[in-house]
Structure 1
Amino acid sequence: MKRWLASLVIMLCCNAVFSQTANLVDKEKLFDFYQTQRYADAANYLRTVYGEDITDARTLSQIGYCYLMSGNNVDAEKFYLKAYSVQPHSLPILFSLASINSRRGNIDKAKLYYGEIVKIDSNNFSVYKSLANLFASNKDSLKLVYLVKANKLNPLEGDVANDLADVYAGLQEREKAYKVLNVAIAADTGNIILKKALLPIANFLKKYNEVIASGEKILSVDNDAYVIKDVAKAYYFTKNYTKAISLFKLLEVMGLQNEATLYYT
Structure 2
Amino acid sequence: MNLSHEEEDRNLSLSRFESMLKTNKVLFFDSEEFEDIILHYMDTGKPSLAKKALKLALEQHPKSTGLKLVQVEMLVFEDKLDTAEKLLNELYAIEPTNEEIYIQKANIFSKRDNHEKAVELLKIALKYTDDYADVYNLIGMEYLFMDELELAKENFIKCLQEEPEEQSGLYNVIYCFEFLEQYEEAIAFLTKYIDTNPYSEIAWHQLGRLYYSIKNYEEAYKAFDYATMIDDQFMGAFMEKAKALERLNRYEEAIENYQETIRLEDPTSYALLRIGKCYEKLGNEIEALKYYNQTVHEDPLLDKGWVAITDLYFKKKNFQKALFFINKALAIDSENSLYWKRYATINRALNFYEEAEVGYRKAIEYGDYELDTWLYWVDILQFLGEFDTAIQTLLQASEYFPDEYEIEYRLSGLYFMLQEHEKGSYHLTNALHLNYNNQTILEELFPIVWERKMVQDIIAKNKPL
Name the TM tier (shorter chain).
0.5 to 0.7
1:228, CA displacement in angstroms?
Answer: 7.3
- Determine if the alignment matches structure 1 residue 204 to structure 2 residue 417: yes
Q: How far has the Cα of 1:139 moved from its partner?
A: 5.2
1:56 alignment partner in structure 2: 267
Q: Residue 179 in 1 paired to residue 392 in 2?
A: yes
The alpha carbon displacement at 1:168 in A equals 1.8
Q: Identity percentage over the alignment?
A: 20
In the alignment, the residues of structure 2 paired with residue 196 and residue 211 of structure 1 have an alpha-carbon distance, to the nearest angstrom, of 9
Report the Cα distance in structure 1 between the residues aligned to 2:263 and 2:311, rounded to whole angstroms. Answer: 24
Secondary structure of 1:116's partner?
A: helix
CA contact (8 A) 1:128 1:146 kept: yes
1:226 equivalent to 2:437? Answer: no
| Larger of the two Rg values belongs to structure | 2
Which one is further off, 133-142 or 175-184?
133-142
Aligned to 1:122: 334
- Which residue of structure 2 aligns with residue 213 of structure 1? 426
1:86 partnered with 2:298: yes
1:56 maps to a residue whose letter is: P
Is this contact kept in 2: 1:199–1:227, CA < 8 A? no
After alignment, is 218-227 or 156-165 more displaced? 218-227
Answer with 56-65 or 172-181: which moved more.
56-65
Aligned pairs (5 A) from 1:164-175:
164-175=377-388
Q: What is the letter of the counterpart of residue 236 of structure 1?
A: M
State the secondary structure of the residue aligned to 2:402.
coil
Equivalenced residue count is 225
Separation (CA, whole Å) in 2 of partners of 1:98 and 1:227: 30
Q: 1:21, 1:200 → 2: CA distance?
A: 63
In 1, the alpha carbon distance for the partners of 2:412 and 2:353 equals 25
CA contact (8 A) 2:272 2:292 kept: yes
Q: Partner amino acid for 1:78? A: K
Point out the more displaced range, 186-195 or 207-216.
207-216
Does the 8 Å CA contact 1:215/1:227 hold for their aligned counterparts?
no
Report the CA distance shift for 1:159/1:41 in structure 2 as closer, same or farther (over 3 A). same
2:374 partner amino acid: A
Distance 1:23-1:172 versus aligned 2 partners, 3 A rule: closer
Secondary structure, counterpart of 1:30 in structure 2: helix
Pair 1:169–1:114, CA change in 2 (3 A): same
Question: What is the CA-CA distance between 1:245 and the residue it aligns to?
Answer: 8.9
**Which of 279, 283, 286 does residue 74 from structure 1 map onto?**
286
Structure 2 residue identity aligned to 1:65: K
Which residue among 356, 359, 365 is the counterpart of 1:143?
356
The residue that corresponds to 2:366 in the other structure is: 153
Q: Which string of whole-angstrom CA distances, capped at 9 and with x for unpartnered residues, describes residues 45-90 of structure 1?
A: 434x358999614332231233345554333212122233433443
Deviates more, 1:121-130 or 1:142-151: 142-151
The question of whether the paired residues in 2 share the 8 Å contact of 1:232 and 1:245 is answered with: no
Residues 208, 234 of structure 1: 8 Å contact kept: no
Counterpart of 1:113 in structure 2 is 325
CA apart distance, 1:22: 5.1
Distance in 1 (alpha carbons) for counterparts of 2:365 and 2:334:
12
Q: Provide the alpha-carbon RMSD of the alignment.
A: 3.6
* 2:415–2:424 contact (8 Å) kept in structure 1: yes
State the TM-score, normalizing by the size of structure 2.
0.41
SS in 2 for 1:134: helix
Which protein, 1 or 2, shows the higher relative CO under an 8 Å CA cutoff with sep ≥ 6?
Answer: 1
Corresponding residue number in structure 1 for 2:454: 236
TM-score with structure 1 setting the length: 0.67
* 1:113 positional shift: 2.0
Query: 2:406, 2:431 within 8 Å by CA — same for their partners in 1?
Result: no
The unaligned stretches of length 5 or more in structure 2 are 1-230
Q: Do the aligned partners of 1:233 and 1:244 also contact (CA within 8 Å) in 2?
A: no
Take 1:128 and 1:62, find their aligned partners in 2: how far apart are those partners? 23
Deviation at 1:109, TM superposition (A): 2.3
Quick check: 1:162–1:194 contact (8 Å CA) kept in 2? yes
Q: Deviations over 1:27-53 (max 9, x none)?
A: 664353244344454224434x35899
CA distance in 1, matches of 2:407, 2:283: 32
Tell me which moved more, 102-111 or 32-41: 32-41
Equivalent residue letter for 1:99: D
Residues 277 and 288 in structure 2, CA contact (< 8 A), matched pair in contact too: yes
